[in-house]
Amino acid sequence: MSLLPGKFYLDDFFEDFAPMPKMKGMDMKCDIYEKKGNVHIELEVPGFDKNDIKLDVDDGILTIEATKNEDKEEKDEERNYFRKERVYGTVKRQFNVGNIDESKIEAKFDKGLLKITFPKEEKKETKKFIEIK
């Protein structure tokens, strides 16, 4: 099981050159740790509602996706903005969690913090020694 979020040394250097750069202010910071045989992922998703967040597992990849839509009660032409820093859209994180039973994944959301817990995958010994004749 590799819980590396897919971010490595100098990755942020090349983000500005990507066709769709990451929206500033729309990232989910996380902590990943093991405790009593379980893996815990804690993600910060401030400003999102529980109903805006989706979790799914497909082929050992845990995907967390959060969408924030702008309320357009008034037309923007009627507003005279001095500054607009809030961003809207979708942010997604993926983690390789290995072959785990999705029914054993627990997720709780409280005050902008998403806590995901699941049993640690048991490493199976796949290394085979071959006798030299």
Quick: pLDDT tens for 32-83. 999 998 999 999 988 888 999 999 999 889 999 999 887 766 566 677 878 8
Cross-strand pairs, 73 = none
| pLDDT given at position 19 | 43
The average pLDDT across 1-8 equals 54
> Mean of the per-residue pLDDT values for the chain?
80
Residue with tokens 């490493």: 123
| pLDDT given at position 23 | 52
| pLDDT given at position 21 | 45
Exposed/middle/buried for residue 76 (C-beta within 10 Å: 0-12, 13-18, 19+): exposed
Please list, in sequence order, all residues whose beta carbon lies within 8 angstroms of the beta carbon of residue 96, skipping any fewer than 6 positions away.
Answer: 1, 2, 3, 4, 60, 61, 62
Domain at 11-18+26-69+81-119: CATH architecture: Sandwich (2.60)
* pLDDT tier at 108, thresholds 50, 70, 90: very high
| Pick from 17, 14, 39, 12: nearest CA to 27 | 12
CA angle 47, 50, 56 (to 5 degrees): 115
Tell me the pTM: 0.68
Residue 18, pLDDT above cutoff 80: no
